[in-house]
Amino acid sequence: MKVAVAAAGISSFALLYAPQPVLPQLAAQYHLDPGAASLAISVATGALAIAVLPIAALSEIVGRRPVILTSVIAAAVLGLLLPLAPSYGVLLVLRALQGAAIAGFPGVAAAYLVEKLGKTGVAAAVGAMIAGNSVGGMLGRLSAGFSAEALGYHGALIVVAGVGTLFTVLTVLTLPRSRRAAREPKPAIREQLRGVLVGVGAALGKPVLLAQYVVGLLAMGSFVAMYNAAGFRLTGAPLDLSPAIASLVFLAYAMGSVSSATVGKLVGRFGRLRTAVCALLVTVLGILLTLPDSLVLVVLGFLVLTGGFFAAHAVANSWTAAEAPEGARGQASGTYTLTYYLGSSVGGTVGSIVYAHAGWGWLVAATSCWLLIAVVAVTFTARRGSTPFRTVPAAG
């Protein structure tokens, strides 16, 4: 099962963020500013955010496994079509469709893992899944970045589409059936729809869940905003790196794999609140380190902010899955994913606009403020006793 969800994560996130390292080339090709070029990312993540709740609701009716498989297959097919786009407008349409297709994996994967493993094992399992996601994001970005210099952005997208297709095949071959699908009889469609609506209300009714949605929104917005602007900063004055060398910054995603895979142990020892707050503050520290015009500090900053972000995301994601009311896991997981990718879409574009018009310093200020708001939100709900301080045992 771990192989299957890791492969699905690699495929989905390699495809989702493939255009990010080639945004400067897209901007040059179509005479765009950084804000307009960032739409190649934002339309996909925005469509993902819009689609995730309906798809999560659908998973309550047809099962998690069929939704996950349909998601990765459709995303791979659209990835193969993407390099054929004759214009930037058509490329954006295909990216939106691809984002909607990808929504089926992150929108229901956590709920699928809870059904397979139970609440006690979900933090470690979600951490492993997110580690796979970060590997996919890194692999897709590095493949695109290195390919673009020799093949152009069209060739880069072809390479990433091939990578995504390979891992999609692995997912199809290894993904187990969910426990619920095998053991529970299906109620009538009307009863299922009524249950879905009740589940949506339950997913929005717990303060501790609302706090996780805020964390997903603001942390992801900050993270994508920084990486959207990274290529422009690294290839521009005074750093002046080549596109291939600049894409090496995405090796920082390795820190995300490490932090998300080990976060279960930290949660078990220190509790969700302390782990989440520390992870968010580490992310702020990493962002601040990128302020000077020093390549060493910029790279170090991306390493730190990436590790902090993925740890915060793993805590919030597993917190959501564990605290979701029975019968509303899909809706709660879907709501978290909606806010997470809404943050990617809106925050990524807003951050790119801030960078284009005000510079890197103002981007650092904006993203740091977003993360501090997330710290306040999660601390406020936990201190009010919305959830036990420690509820997840150590992983492993």
Of 273 and 332, the one with more pLDDT: 273
Q: Would you say 180 and 62 are in contact if contact means Cβ atoms under 8 Å apart?
A: no
Question: Which of 15-29, 189-203, 254-268, 361-375 has the lowest average pLDDT?
Answer: 189-203
CA–CA separation, 386 and 215 (whole Å) = 16
Query: Taking 60 as the threshold, does the pLDDT of residue 367 lie above it?
Result: yes
Q: Would you say 348 and 117 are in contact if contact means Cβ atoms under 8 Å apart?
A: no
Residue 394 lies in a domain: no
Average pLDDT over residues 288-304: 97
The type of residue at 347 is: G
List C-alpha distances in Å: 50 to 39, 44, 46, 310: 16, 10, 6, 23
Average pLDDT over residues 59-88: 92
CA–CA separation, 8 and 5 (whole Å) = 5
What pLDDT score was predicted for residue 244? 87
Q: What is the pLDDT of residues 230-246, one digit of tens each?
A: 999 999 999 999 888 99
DSSP 32: -
Most confident listed range (124-138, 197-211, 251-265) = 251-265
- Residue indicated by tokens 């601040």: 288
Structure tokens, 167: 């891992």
What pLDDT score was predicted for residue 368? 98
Nearest to 8 by CA among 156, 223, 166, 125: 166
Nearest to 332 by CA among 125, 108, 121, 127: 108
Domain assignment of residue 122, given as a range = 2-383
Q: Would you say 108 and 56 are in contact if contact means Cβ atoms under 8 Å apart?
A: yes
How many separate domains does the chain show?
A: 1
Q: What is the pLDDT of residues 141-193, one digit of tens each?
A: 999 999 988 888 889 999 999 999 999 999 999 888 755 444 455 565 666 66
Q: What is the pLDDT of residues 214-234, one digit of tens each?
A: 999 999 999 999 999 999 999
Sign of the Cα pseudo-torsion (34, 35, 40, 44, in order)? positive
Residue 353 lies in a domain: yes
Residue 392 lies in a domain: no
What pLDDT score was predicted for residue 120? 64
Alpha helices in 236-328, H assignment, sequence order: 243-246, 253-270, 272-289, 295-323
Q: What is the 3-state secondary structure (H, E, C) of 157-203?
A: HHHHHHHHHHHHHHHHHHCCCCHHHHHCCCCCHHHHHHHHHHHHHHH
Average pLDDT over residues 335-364: 93
Question: Which of 71-75, 107-111, 311-315 has the lowest average pLDDT?
Answer: 107-111
Q: At 196, which CATH number?
A: 1.20.1250.20
What pLDDT score was predicted for residue 18? 92
Residue 149 lies in a domain: yes
- Other beta carbons within 10 angstroms of residue 89's beta carbon come to 10
Average pLDDT over residues 293-320: 94
Question: Which of 76-90, 312-326, 378-392 has the lowest average pLDDT?
Answer: 378-392
Structure tokens, 100: 């909607």
Residue 190, judged by CB atoms within 10 A of its CB (0-12, 13-18, 19+), counts as exposed
Average pLDDT over residues 91-105: 95
Residue 389 lies in a domain: no
Of 359 and 321, the one with more pLDDT: 359
Residue 390 lies in a domain: no
What pLDDT score was predicted for residue 183? 47
Residue 284 lies in a domain: yes
pLDDT bin (cut points 50, 70, 90) of residue 373 is: very high
Of all residues in the chain, what percent are helix, strand and coil, respectively (each to 5)?
A: 85, 0, 15
Strands (E), the chain: none
DSSP 339: H
What pLDDT score was predicted for residue 260? 80
What pLDDT score was predicted for residue 179? 55
pLDDT bin (cut points 50, 70, 90) of residue 392 is: very low
Average pLDDT over residues 40-53: 91
User: For all residues of the chain together, what is the average pLDDT?
Assistant: 86
- 3-state SS assignment for residue 19: coil
Question: Which of 78-92, 93-107, 156-170, 326-340 has the lowest average pLDDT?
Answer: 326-340
Average pLDDT over residues 103-108: 84
What pLDDT score was predicted for residue 331? 76
Structure tokens, 197: 């609506």
Residue 396 lies in a domain: no
